[in-house]
Amino acid sequence: GGAVSMHCHQRKSAMFLPLSHGVVLKTLNANMGLCESITVDRGVFHSQANISEDDAYFLEYEFMGV
């Protein structure tokens, strides 16, 4: 599977909503399977990776947040 490079958003938070299995959300402190929605606060470094042999899908909502 593919991956998104590690990055952060200085001015906005991001919410991730999985649409399929196989997506892992990584931060500098943890790796977690994305099985329900999760919000990453602004300034938190994060990336996503597909650990499945199949295509993996998720929605990312970015918003001005705390």
Predicted structure pTM score: 0.85
The pLDDT tens digits for 34-56 are 999 999 999 999 999 999 999 99
Average per-residue pLDDT for the chain: 93
Q: Is the pLDDT assigned to residue 65 strictly greater than 70?
A: no
Q: Is 42 exposed, middle or buried (0-12, 13-18, 19+ CB in 10 A)?
A: middle
> For residue 54, what are the CA distances in angstroms to 6, 26, 35, 49, 60?
22, 19, 16, 12, 19
